[in-house]
Amino acid sequence: MIPEKERLINEKVFRDPVHNYIKVDHPIILDLINAKEMQRLRHIKQLGTSSFTFHGSEHSRFTHALGVYEIARKICNVFKCNYPKNSTNKDGWDNSKRLLTLTSALLHDIGHGAYSHTFEHIFNTDHEQFTIDIITFKQTEVFQILHSFAKDFPKKVAEVIQKTYKNQQVVQIISSQIDADRMDYLLRDAYYTGTKYGTFDLTRILRTIRPVKGGIAFKASGMHAVEDYIISRYQMYMQVYFHPTSRAMEIILKHLLKRACTLYQKMPAYFKQTTPFLLPFLKGKYKLKDYLCLNDDVLNTYFAEWKQAKDFILSDLAKRFLDRKPLKSCAYLNKDKPIIDEMKKLVAAVGFDPDYYTALNSSYDLPYDFYRPNTKNTYTQIEIMQKNGQLKELSTMSPLVFALAGNSHGDQRFYFPKEMLDNSLTSKFNKEIKKFNQLFSSVQN
């Protein structure tokens, strides 16, 4: 329980379309929300290029961070009321860990950058490391707020996010195969994309979640709600996160940034004039303060400038990205690779540089997996508590989850310019276009 002297005099609330009211009753949480590093997340989209496909998905990582905090707050409330740690329940919830849990939930994604994963791929940044840096570097407002509460508080929050904190109940509330993070982004992304795939019975899950020795589990009466959550996650990845058009726009973005990196070596003065905040990354010498200067809005402004660039590829890719001109694609199997190679040659034959106008993209997800101690990336499996107190792994009880467990789902696609299919190129390339369409049809079949 939060001591009265540490509570806010008046509880603060944030109106939220997913959780209704997000409640804040501790000053450190409110201070962290108002910190400049947190406010920066308002300008970074949660779903990146998915808004080019689902036009409602303009929500930010800031709204998601508050949502994760709220779900973690509700879990802590359930644990405190129903499963407190005491002499008769040594594996119960230690409520002195509440504020650490809520703080970690709020800050878990604070290191995400502009167009997060695409930017990371090009410039070799690591949002997880930047999250830890923001929490532990003395220069940040976040560190100062945490440190003012307790000198070791930044270190503890970092340990929770890095999953090394000794209390695994705290860790698994934030990061596991069914955690506050995943539950919020599924519900939030479903709401903003206008889809129903990500909806599940959060109320029931919160009713049946409980702390156990070494982590969290769910009562047997809540198994079907957990099962529904797994299926919802699978559907969201297949129907939303892996949508071919969203991936097409992400490829254009990646190639646009790649082109800028190449051109910077030849014409640094141009980028110094047009994209000053991007310079440290083009040079490959950046610090935390440089990272914090960038967000989606800043990059989009730079892309608008690049639309006027003399370099055709940079200009054209900037136009295709900002004006939503996605690449087309076809799914292919490994046996189709010789055909894909031939299609790529035809793209080059009509004048498109294949390094910037084609791509092979594989998108796969593992909806659920059981614990595999001998693998590099182990999973904390979902445990269902029986009436006798025994814990059983979810897939041993659910045929639906068993069918998904341990299997990756997705596809691999070949991306290319739409012009290769719509005959908009000059008659000079009729032969190449006709051949390309034939190959395209054979892969589709």
Indicate the pLDDT class of residue 406, thresholds 50, 70 and 90. confident
| pLDDT at residue 425 is higher than 70 | no
Q: What 3-state class would DSSP assign to 397?
A: coil
Cβ-Cβ contacts under 8 Å for 118 (sequence gap 6 or more):
48, 49, 250, 253, 254, 257
Nearest to 424 by CA among 325, 289, 298: 325
- For residue 123, CA distances in Å to 204, 284, 307, 420 come to 42, 7, 21, 30
For residue 314, give the nearest of 305, 304, 306 by alpha carbon. Answer: 306
- Eight-state DSSP code of residue 10: S
pLDDT bracket for residue 130 (50, 70, 90): very high
pLDDT interval class at 3 (50, 70, 90): low
Sheet of strand 328-331: strand arrangement: 328-331, 409-416, 359-365
Instruction: Report the pLDDT value the prediction gives residue 427, as an integer from 0 to 100.
Output: 72
Of the listed ranges 7-11, 34-38, 228-232, 364-368, the least confidently predicted one is: 7-11
Q: What is the Cα–Cα distance from 212 to 384, expressed in whole angstroms? A: 11
Examine the pLDDT at 423 and tell me if it is beyond 60.
yes
Indicate the pLDDT class of residue 4, thresholds 50, 70 and 90.
Answer: very low
User: What is the residue-averaged pLDDT of the chain?
Assistant: 93
CA atoms of 338 and 332, how far apart (whole Å): 11
Asked if 54 and 192 touch (Cβ cutoff 8 Å), the reply is yes
For residue 378, pLDDT over 80 is answered with no
φ and ψ at 142, to 5 degrees? -60, -50
Q: Does the structure show a pLDDT above 80 at 157?
A: yes
What are the structural domains of the chain? 4-241 (1.10.3210.10), 251-326 (1.20.1250.30), 328-366+410-445 (1.20.1250.30)
Residue 346, classed as helix, strand or coil, is helix
| Cα 264–chain centre separation | 29
Mean pLDDT calculated for residue range 395-416: 90
Tell me how far apart the alpha carbons of residues 314 and 312 are, in angstroms, rounded to a whole number. Answer: 6
Average pLDDT over residues 62-74: 98
Q: Judge whether residue 429 has pLDDT over 90.
A: no
Q: Could you give the CA distance from residue 159 to residue 405 in angstroms, rounded to a whole number?
A: 29
Which of 156-160, 313-317, 365-369 is the least confident region? 365-369
State residue 405's pLDDT score: 84
Q: Are 318 and 304 in contact (CB under 8 A)?
A: yes
**Overall average pLDDT of the 234-239 stretch:** 92
Query: Hunting for tokens 């049809």 — which residue is that?
Result: 441
The CA dihedral of 150, 156, 161, 164, to the nearest 10 degrees, is 180
From residue 373, give the alpha-carbon distance in Å to each of 17, 51, 370, 392, 407.
40, 38, 10, 17, 17
Q: Which amino acid is at 356?
A: Y
pLDDT of residue 426: 63
Find the helix or strand (DSSP H, E) in which 188 lies: helix 180-193
Element (H, E) at 298: helix 296-306
Cα angle, residue 65 at apex, residues 188 and 26 outer, rounded to 5°: 125
Rounded CA-CA distance 104/72 in Å is 9
Inter-residue contact 245 to 413 (CB < 8 Å): no
Length of the chain: 445
Residue 116 has pLDDT above 80, yes or no: yes
**How far from the centroid of its chain's Cα atoms is residue 355's Cα?**
26
**Per-residue pLDDT for 372 more than 50?**
no
Number of neighbouring beta carbons within 10 Å of residue 93: 26
Q: Give the pLDDT confidence score for residue 371 in this predicted structure.
A: 47
- The residues, any chain, with a CB within 8 Å of residue 113's CB and separated by 6 or more, are 44, 119, 120, 125, 127, 130, 291, 294, 295
8-state DSSP, 89: B
In this structure, what token pair is assigned to residue 222? 């809540």
| Cα–Cα distance, 340 to 443 (Å, whole number) | 8
**pLDDT, position 374:** 47
> Which of 43-47, 89-93, 133-137, 201-205 comes out lowest in average pLDDT?
89-93
Confidence grade of residue 377 (pLDDT, cut at 50, 70, 90): low
Q: Is the pLDDT of residue 386 over 60?
A: yes
pLDDT at 428: 81
Q: CB of 178 within 8 A of CB of 379?
A: no
Residue type, 439: L
Tell me what pLDDT residue 89 has: 87
**Residue 298 corresponds to which tokens in the numbers above?**
């800043």
Rounded Cα–Cα distance for residues 33 and 42 (Å): 11
Model confidence band, residue 424 (pLDDT cutoffs 50, 70, 90): low
Question: What per-residue string of b and e applies to 24-39 under the rule 16 or more CB within 10 Å gives b?
Answer: bbbebbebbbebebbe
pLDDT tens figures, 272-326: 999 999 999 999 999 999 999 999 999 999 999 999 999 999 999 999 999 999 9
Q: Does residue 197 surpass a pLDDT of 90?
A: no
Q: What is the pLDDT of residue 321?
A: 98
Taking residues 25-33, what's their average pLDDT? 96
Residues of the chain with pLDDT > 90, as a percent, come to 84
pLDDT computed for residue 379 by the predictor = 67
Do the Cβ atoms of 368 and 382 come closer than 8 Å? yes
CB 283 within 8 A of CB 265: no
| Token duo for residue 186 | 């599924």
